[in-house]
Amino acid sequence: MANTPVDRLDFDQIKASLKDYLRGQDTFKDYDFEGSTMNILLDVLAYNTHYQAFYANMVANEAFLDSARKRNSVVSLAKHLNYTPRSRKASRVTVNVKYPTAATTAEGNMNLNRASAGALVLPRGTRFTSRGQGGETYIFNTLEDYKFEVVSGELVVRNAVLYEGSLRTDSFVVNTKDSSQKFLLSDKNVDIDTIIVRVFASVSDTRGINDSWRRANDITELDGSSNSFFVQETEDGTWEVYFGDGVIGRAMENGNVIRVVYLSSNGENANGIGSTDTTQSPSFRSTGSIGYVVSVVTDTNGDPQPSFGGEAPESTDSIRFYAPRAYQAQERAVTADDYLAILARDYSLKSDSFLVWGGEENDPPQYGKVFISIKPKNSAKLSISEKQSITRNILGKRNVLTVTPEVVDPEVIYLNITTNVYYNPNSTILSNDEIGSAVRSRIVTFGDENLNMFGSNFRSSKFTTYIDATDPSINSSEVLMTLERRIEPQFNRTLPYTIKFDNALKHPVDGYPSILDSSSFYYLDYSSDAASKPTVVAYLDDDGYGNVRIYKLVDSSRVYLISNIGTIDYQTGKVVLKSFAPLGIPDGTVEIKLRVVPDRDDVFVRRNQVLQVNEDVIVVNPIEEVTVIDNRASDTKFPFRT
């Protein structure tokens, strides 16, 4: 009998293998398989073998987390690692809510005095409507009670958090005789962080209705009497609530009634509402009989803080990446992956990207520390209180006692982009200004999709290809760019500052014109002969030999106050200010901007650096580029730019 190979999975190869096998037997030694009915039977056998091989291969792939492709398989395998995928997240916004009833500042003549104000509550479940950027209407709700207080003679709730979505309620009656009973939520768009569970004794007995049940994350904190519930994703994205067995978590009894209240959310679609909020045109309106007046909370610059945090359900690739790391962490932070897994689970709502490295890898090394850098959503850095909350509430119970976690700001490198766009006006209905506007929007989108995260580099060829696809009339584009870093100096103090661009800077020869400049700041005029040096508006540049200077402008000419305030390394992109003592900033801000010209159009990042398109200084130059035909050779085209 001939040996039959089993390493062939292609249909034709399987059929050929079957023929070789049959020819190896005396009965079919000289049989013509191509011109006989046997050929049809071989097709059937080969097809069946190929089908079974493919099916077996797919089943084997779906049995392992690394190779599984179906979401149901990935989710099921993640359960073995005690990992719960992140659900859809509701967008949220912080607002101030004013009670419509008028109140005067006269203490004895208030329509609602302080006593009544203390009893007046903005109840949980109060609904507000808003309109998204595309015109869609979204519902926002309060998920807790807020007490009104008297502020400047008005009844106000300050810093109330509204969550987008519709409140849903599912009820179940426990039947312990049904071993297959499941408590599946009826809406797949649930934000599982908003689930509230209430359990009472029976349909006619409401004992326990006010007991607090909490979602369990750590089974080591549970015993048989713990009022805890668990959540898991099941088939096709449905979510299930389930309970303990009397040993780990309290068990359900026959006839118990379970009531589950949660938000059904639109996720990321409701982000960004309130960015244009004004007193005359508020973004949020009350839907009830009481016409609450709502205004979005503003930041220190007076800009409205729009809704944020809405997210789609966790992707299959993300589950595949984080599930084994969460299992490895086991609710304790030892390695960098442990920190990443915990932060991704507990802080993903407010962040775009995380980076963790040990103190021994820091520059300079700081042993006994672990550094965590977080790129938050909608801002460049975290506040001091947010950093303290992360180290104390999220990592405080999990990190090793001998290691101190420290949250540091990402080092943002802003890209100041100027783009020349060459287009054929005969190939588009867009005007010159419309081409410029479309390209500008495209640049902003490129930054959102490709930058703003740790490890994301800027590739000029990828950028120009992206810009060229803005409109079919665009023939080509070129990018001119400067890099910008910002420092917050301590005014009236002489201190050193180190600014790292970590990219080679343009410096073809010594004495090359300055490639460093800065925004304005106040400085003492050391060039003055007066005993008491006056304060002037000053700037930074370099001398082409590696020295950083401070100068002022006199009739558009530069007069240098200090010829060597620091150094600039053109190879590494490091700027060092040795004894820098600015007195303030003319526009009243707290940042000085330093800009340099890179040696290459590609820009790279290291460690916790993040590239971000500076939307305030995008310059687009649409340039008409037409094509004419030379009379001497009608088939030759000579392009020229106007």
Encode 593-625: b = buried (16+ Cβ within 10 Å), e = exposed. bbbbbbbeeebbbebbbbbbbbeeebebebbeb
CB 234 within 8 A of CB 241: no
How far is CA 252 from its chain centroid?
Answer: 39
Query: Residue 316: which H helix or E strand, with range?
Result: helix 316-329
Contacts of 147 (CB under 8 A, 6+ apart): 117, 118, 120, 121, 122, 157
Q: Which two tokens stand for residue 143?
A: 């998920």
Residue with tokens 């999709």: 449
Stated length of the chain = 642
pLDDT at 105: 40
Per-residue pLDDT tens digits for 381-431: 777 777 887 887 778 777 777 788 888 889 999 999 999 999 999 999 999
Residue with tokens 């803080």: 305
Nearest to 222 by CA among 107, 371, 331: 331
pLDDT at 638: 38
pTM: 0.65
Encode 262-277: b = buried (16+ Cβ within 10 Å), e = exposed. bbbbbbebbbbbbeeb
Which amino acid is located at 442 in the chain? R
- Report the SS3 class of residue 377: coil
Residue with tokens 């839907």: 287
Residue with tokens 């783009």: 419
- Distances from the Cα of 27 to the Cαs of 18, 30, 322, in angstroms? 14, 8, 59
pLDDT at 329: 73
- The burial of 544, by beta-carbon neighbours within 10 Å (0-12 exposed, 13-18 middle, 19 or more buried), is given as middle
Contacts of 571 (CB under 8 A, 6+ apart): 504, 505
Query: What's the CA gap between 345 and 88, in Å, rounded?
Result: 13
Per-residue pLDDT tens digits for 489-544: 999 999 999 999 999 999 999 999 999 999 999 999 988 877 788 999 999 999 99
- Distances from the Cα of 566 to the Cαs of 289, 518, 525, 538, in angstroms? 65, 14, 17, 15
Q: Which two tokens stand for residue 6?
A: 């089993």
DSSP of 427-484: G-S--HHHHHHHHHHHHHHHHHHHSSSTT--B-HHHHHHHHHTT-TTEEEEEEEEEEE
CB 380 within 8 A of CB 452: no
pLDDT at 299: 65
pLDDT at 504: 95
What architecture is domain 330-407? Answer: 2-Layer Sandwich (3.30)
End-to-end CA distance of the chain: 81
Contacts of 344 (CB under 8 A, 6+ apart): 322, 354
pLDDT at 109: 40
Q: Which two tokens stand for residue 482?
A: 């400067």
CB 387 within 8 A of CB 395: no
Q: Which two tokens stand for residue 410?
A: 């990402």
Asked if the bond preceding 364 is cis, omega within 30° of 0, the reply is yes
- Distances from the Cα of 321 to the Cαs of 72, 238, 566, in angstroms? 16, 21, 45
Nearest to 323 by CA among 83, 108, 514: 83
Residue with tokens 């978590």: 249
Phi first, then psi: give them for residue 230, nearest 5 degrees.
-120, 155
Which amino acid is located at 65 in the chain? L
Query: What's the CA gap between 8 and 49, in Å, rounded?
Result: 10
Query: What's the CA gap between 402 and 557, in Å, rounded?
Result: 57
Query: What's the CA gap between 183 and 480, in Å, rounded?
Result: 59
Query: What's the CA gap between 540 and 549, in Å, rounded?
Result: 6
How far is CA 546 from its chain centroid?
Answer: 38
pLDDT at 493: 92
Segments of 55-186 assigned E as strands: 92-98, 121-122, 127-131, 137-142, 146-147, 149-151, 154-164, 166-173, 183-184
Nearest to 464 by CA among 314, 576, 620: 620
Query: What's the CA gap between 291 and 624, in Å, rounded?
Result: 55
**pLDDT under 50 in the chain at which residues?**
1, 103-118, 629, 631-642
CB 19 within 8 A of CB 28: no
CB 602 within 8 A of CB 415: no
pLDDT at 531: 76
Going by their DSSP bridges, the two strands 92-98 and 154-164 should be labelled as antiparallel
- Distances from the Cα of 518 to the Cαs of 377, 476, 485, 559, 596, in angstroms? 27, 31, 10, 15, 9
Going by their DSSP bridges, the two strands 92-98 and 293-296 should be labelled as antiparallel
Phi first, then psi: give them for residue 74, nearest 5 degrees.
-65, -45
